[in-house]
Amino acid sequence: MTQSPTPKFATQAVHAGASPDPTTGARATPIYQTTSFVFNDAEHAAALFGLEAFGNIYTRINNPTQSVLEARMAALEGGSAALAVASGHAAQFLALHTLLEPGDEFVAARQLYGGSINQFNHSFKKFNWNVRWADAFEPASFERAITPRTRAIFCESIANPGGIVVDLPAVAEVAKRAGVPFIVDNTLATPYLCRPKEFGADIIVHSLTKFIGGHGNSVGGVIVDCGTFDWKGSRHRYASLVDPNPSYNGIKLAETFGPMAFAIAARVLGLRDLGPAISPFNAFLILTGVETLPLRMQRQSDNALAVAEWLSKHPAVSWVNYAGLPENASYAAHQKICPKGAGAVFTFGLKGGYEAGVRLVSGLKLFSFLANLGDTRSLVIHPASTTHRQLANEQREAAGAGPDVVRLSIGIEDVDDIIADLDQALASL
């Protein structure tokens, strides 16, 4: 009998990690709404707590609904294991908590979601974790930012809000030469458009709240361990992974768990003690959304390209920054990194500046004016007055969120209706 081939993406989006419930026969993954789980006996309990066996202990650490979501995301990204958590911010926090000791540094692209810039610049300083900034347009700037204390490199595959498609292989080479793991936030691209592991990423994070869940009804995040970084052979010492762990009788996680060691460490050291657990209900809702991911992402990317082309010809618009347009600086990277589409999020500038941006977002009717993206519905925001308001003017400009910038997240509606709504709002300016 010949071995079955690996299922393709759309099949994995529906089936990976799941099977009918063995007790009831339920086909959809159940919501295991429980705090804790019964042990078979004292020996079984001891094995679970000692990391000698896999299984369920307490929903803060793991849960069967969460486990299906993790298995599916690992499959879609081509990773060895995954950890689902309460939000995208929690995913970033736990990923770097697993890597950094007080006084350590990491290098990040300055073209990031404003909340990430704030988290890195301010919240992380309380742990004495320090960020050094690089330019996503210039891979060599990552190398210049590296110091002896650098322990990771971080970027987004498609930057929010600027829509820059990063040359992931070039940045991955910098990380490889420095001997540090390469972390990629793949929220805007999703694994349907881009699989960062194929371009050198070692760790992938997502805000599941966005395109993965896709319906604006639940918050979650995930860390995917690609299983590619050699923790034991690294020139740097990653204590959480290679040192004997006193809370688990001296176990060395990298030695014991091999290519899934990072995901295990983030769970049993970070999630266990810091507690940003995803709820079973949110895991269930996100799982339901994942099933239609390839359909939604293709439709939304196609719609976004049509809208960007229309806006680029509008007299009230000074510029459009969408990597799917041939004249865009990221077009070549888009063709290499995510050839199926440049995503559904992009920015454009209004000739009327800040005041025009504020008026436009208030004048749209089909679009929802809110601080989210990746919904089935078309969404709009003026970053300078909302998501990036907490940043200094120079930081806003560097992040692609200047005063004239409007960010769109294009939905699955009929594209003619999306354009008609933009047309009437722009006419009112």
Q: Is 207 exposed, middle or buried (0-12, 13-18, 19+ CB in 10 A)?
A: buried
The reported pLDDT for the residue numbered 389 is 72
Which SS3 state, helix, strand or coil, does residue 49 take? helix
pLDDT at 223 exceeding the cut of 60? yes
The reported pLDDT for the residue numbered 4 is 61
Give the integer Cα–Cα distance in Å for 57 and 36.
6
CATH superfamily membership of 293-427: Aspartate Aminotransferase, domain 1 (3.90.1150.10)
pLDDT at 55 exceeding the cut of 50? yes
Chain segment 143-194, per-residue pLDDT in tens: 999 999 999 999 999 998 778 899 999 999 999 999 999 999 999 999 999 9
User: How crowded is residue 11: how many other Cβ atoms within 10 Å of its Cβ?
Assistant: 12
The structural domains of the chain, with segments of one domain joined by +, span: 9-20+31-289, 293-427
State the amino acid at position 161 in one-letter form.
Answer: P
Give the global pTM: 0.95
pLDDT at 34 exceeding the cut of 50? yes
The rounded mean pLDDT for the chain is: 94
Residue with tokens 């439709």: 299
- My answer on whether omega of the bond before 403 falls inside 30° of 0, hence cis, is no
pLDDT at 20 exceeding the cut of 60? yes
Angle at 97 between CA 91 and CA 99, to 5 degrees: 110
The reported pLDDT for the residue numbered 52 is 93
Q: Which residues of 36-55 are buried (b: 16+ CB within 10 A; e: fewer)?
A: eeebeeeeeeebbeebeeee
| CATH architecture assigned to 9-20+31-289 | 3-Layer(aba) Sandwich (3.40)
Q: Which two tokens stand for residue 239?
A: 């204590």
Chain segment 350-362, per-residue pLDDT in tens: 998 888 998 999 9
pLDDT band at 337 (very low <50, low <70, confident <90, very high): very high
pLDDT at 3 exceeding the cut of 70? no
Q: Which of 379, 420, 428, 374 is nearest to 187 (CA)?
A: 374
How does DSSP classify residue 158? B
Sign of the four-CA dihedral 53, 58, 60, 66: positive
Task: Average the pLDDT over 245-265 and give the result.
Answer: 96
The reported pLDDT for the residue numbered 377 is 97
pLDDT at 403 exceeding the cut of 90? no
The whole-angstrom distance between residue 190's C-alpha and the CA centroid of its chain comes to 8
Q: Could you tell me if 54 and 237 are in contact, meaning their C-beta atoms sit under 8 angstroms apart?
A: no
**What is the DSSP annotation of 225-261?**
E-S---TTT-SS--HHHHSPBGGGTTB-HHHHHGGGH
The reported pLDDT for the residue numbered 303 is 98
Chain segment 272-296, per-residue pLDDT in tens: 999 999 999 999 999 999 999 999 9
Chain segment 104-131, per-residue pLDDT in tens: 999 999 999 888 999 999 999 999 999 9
